[in-house]
């Protein structure tokens, strides 16, 4: 138990250090942008006195390292600053959008994870069969297509030709739960098709690898049915790599939804980030980037901890 606790603490420490490094990269990236931020926002016709006052308000008159630690200190207090586009607190802008992104990601995950695991188990159970080859071809094709291509194909088929689902997934607080579900069917289906392929193939490969183990051969010699061998023995021992790939794809569902949100004009965090980049709203861009980074690191940390718990060999690497 102490060894597990020590490994978890190390993973958490590495996650915090990684997030700290990412915050530095974000800040340096903003510093590297060409032009003067105050002049870009106020326009070329602004008076020098106005530009100087605005630079002081944004703390642009301070050295970069002082601005970074000032920004980091405010961030540690939960203060993400104010939007340069409308003057509203960034927390208010980000909160609702992040909730929408999580709603879309969770909806896709509820469908994708069980389907991927089930297809992976069946493909391993009927290895080299017609079903296995058909699933492999379908998943490889899905992996090869970029998200926006899949999204536009679904829009063309289900919104233009058949007119079943809306092509613009606009949701608001006044809508009921099922109205929101109906509105996000197409972006949810797009994300599901993309991530199911990765999770299904990893599940299949992990189970097939475990099937070559001696204890599986012993279970077969005892006369245990093949389905029970795969489900109760092989799959449980393949949980570690399966958990890792599921966590990585869940992280993608949250972090990689930017393109999907833009295609379907979905009011999520990715859409907000794209709009803020076009407006050069730096505080909002930094907040969105850090939230995405924190979610990605958090899910990877969760995957590491669950892998350590589910696989005794990771607790004793020697």
Q: For 149-179, give one letter per residue: b (16+ CB within 10 A) or e.
A: ebbbebbeebbeeeeebbbebebeeeeeeee
> What pLDDT does residue 293 have?
86
- 88, with CB counted inside 10 A (0-12, 13-18, 19+), is exposed
Q: For residues 258 and 249, what is the distance between their CA atoms, to the nearest angstrom?
A: 15
> What pLDDT does residue 44 have?
65
The residues near 125 (Cβ < 8 Å, ≥ 6 apart) are: 226, 227, 230
3-state secondary structure of 169: coil
Supply the range of the domain harboring residue 274: 90-315
Q: What is the pTM of this model?
A: 0.79
Domain for residue 224, yes or no?
yes
Q: At what angle do helices 64-76 and 2-31 cross, to 10 degrees?
A: 130
What are 82's strand-pairing partners? 89
For CA atoms 217, 218, 223, 229, give the dihedral sign.
negative
Domain for residue 294, yes or no?
yes
Nearest CA-CA partner of 268 in 156, 145, 143, 107? 107
Nearest CA-CA partner of 21 in 270, 280, 294? 294
Domain for residue 261, yes or no?
yes
- Residue ranges, the chain, pLDDT below 70: 1-4, 33-47, 51, 54, 57-58, 60-61, 233, 236, 310-318
Q: For residues 91 and 89, what is the distance between their CA atoms, to the nearest angstrom?
A: 5
Domain for residue 255, yes or no?
yes
> What pLDDT does residue 208 have?
79
Domain for residue 202, yes or no?
yes
- 180, with CB counted inside 10 A (0-12, 13-18, 19+), is middle
The CATH number for 126's domain is 1.10.3720.10
Nearest CA-CA partner of 257 in 95, 147, 93? 147
> What pLDDT does residue 42 have?
64
- 66, with CB counted inside 10 A (0-12, 13-18, 19+), is exposed
> What pLDDT does residue 299 have?
82
Tell me which residue has tokens 């829009």: 155
Domain for residue 38, yes or no?
no
Q: For residues 152 and 6, what is the distance between their CA atoms, to the nearest angstrom?
A: 47
Domain for residue 266, yes or no?
yes
> What pLDDT does residue 162 have?
85
181-219 confidence digits (pLDDT tens): 898 899 998 888 888 888 888 888 877 777 777 777 777
> What pLDDT does residue 315 have?
55
Tell me which residue has tokens 């020697």: 318
Alpha helices for the chain (secondary structure H): 2-31, 37-42, 48-57, 64-76, 90-125, 130-144, 147-155, 177-183, 185-211, 214-221, 226-228, 235-237, 239-255, 258-263, 269-279, 282-310, 312-315
What's the angle, vertex CA 126, arms to CA 137 and CA 138, rounded to 5? Answer: 15
> What pLDDT does residue 313 have?
58
Q: For 117-144, give one letter per residue: b (16+ CB within 10 A) or e.
A: bebbbbbbbeeeeeebeebbeebeebee
Q: Specify the number of domains making up the chain.
A: 1
Return the structure tokens found at 150: 């899949």
Domain for residue 12, yes or no?
no
């Amino acid at each position: 138990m102490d060894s597990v606790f020590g490994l978890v603490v190390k993973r958490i420490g590495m996650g915090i250090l990684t997030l700290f490094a990412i915050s530095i990269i974000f800040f340096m990236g903003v510093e590297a942008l060409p032009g003067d931020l105050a002049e870009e926002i106020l326009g070329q016709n602004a008076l020098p006195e106005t530009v100087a006052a605005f630079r002081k308000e944004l703390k642009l008159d301070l050295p970069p390292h002082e601005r970074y630690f000032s920004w980091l200190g405010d961030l540690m207090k939960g203060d993400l600053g104010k939007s340069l586009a409308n003057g509203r607190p960034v927390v208010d802008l980000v909160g609702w959008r992040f909730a929408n992104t999580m709603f879309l990601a969770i909806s896709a995950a509820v469908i994708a994870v069980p389907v991927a695991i089930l297809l992976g188990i069946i493909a391993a159970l009927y290895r080299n069969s017609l079903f296995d080859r058909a699933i492999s071809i379908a998943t490889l094709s899905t992996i090869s297509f970029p998200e926006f291509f899949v999204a536009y194909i679904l829009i063309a088929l289900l919104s233009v030709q058949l007119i079943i689902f809306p092509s613009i997934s606009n949701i608001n607080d006044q809508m009921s739960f099922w109205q929101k579900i109906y509105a996000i069917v197409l972006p949810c289906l797009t994300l599901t098709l993309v991530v199911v392929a990765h999770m299904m193939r990893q599940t299949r490969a992990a189970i097939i690898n475990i099937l070559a183990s001696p204890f599986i051969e012993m279970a077969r010699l005892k006369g245990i049915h093949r389905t029970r061998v795969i489900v109760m023995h092989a799959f449980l021992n393949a949980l570690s790599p399966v958990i890792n790939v599921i966590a990585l794809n869940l992280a993608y569902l949250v972090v990689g939804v930017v393109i999907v949100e833009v295609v379907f004009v979905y009011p999520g965090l990715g859409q907000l980030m794209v709009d803020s980049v076009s407006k050069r709203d730096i505080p909002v861009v930094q907040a969105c980037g850090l939230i995405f980074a924190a979610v990605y690191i958090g899910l990877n940390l969760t995957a590491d901890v669950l892998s350590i718990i589910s696989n005794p060999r990771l607790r004793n690497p020697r």
